[in-house]
Amino acid sequence: MIKFLAGTFTLFMVSIICWADSGHAFGAISLLMRMPHGDKIAHFLLLGTLSFLINSSLSCRKLPINGHNILLGSLLIAVVISLEEFSQAFIPHRNFEILDIVCNYAGIFTFGKLALFYDSKKSSTISV
């Protein structure tokens, strides 16, 4: 079920990016954009949710990098979303903002930690 949710949410995120790249905003996203800091909150929550779902679907698999264990899902999301954010500098209807990237990374990190917590609780429940 978590893999289905992760795939569905990924498609949802791709559709949001495509709509934004075309100069359109819709529904809740348009409402968030009008709120103070709504854009930053959206970045945090959307990328955080994606991080939680992708990391959970990968059973919180980690990669050892430079002496640290990095969540594979978080790393993949950070790389892809960084490329997408930097590409906005070249898209007429978009604008590049470093604070968007900061909010993306904060959501990825925070919800990645939630995925680890969820995974540890799930594992301890199963083994009891």
- pLDDT digit string, tens, across residues 9-60: 999 989 888 877 776 665 556 666 677 888 899 899 999 999 999 999 999 9
Q: What is the DSSP string of 37-75?
A: THHHHHHHHHHHHHHHHHHHHTTT-EEEETTEEEEHHHH
Q: What are phi and psi of 41, to 5 degrees?
A: -65, -40
Mean pLDDT of 76-82: 96
- Which has the closest alpha carbon to 1: 59, 72, 49, 57? 57
What pLDDT was estimated at residue 112?
97
pLDDT higher than 70, residue 71: yes
- Its domain, for residue 42, covers 2-127
Number of domains in the chain: 1
How many C-beta atoms surround the C-beta of residue 29 within 10 A?
A: 16
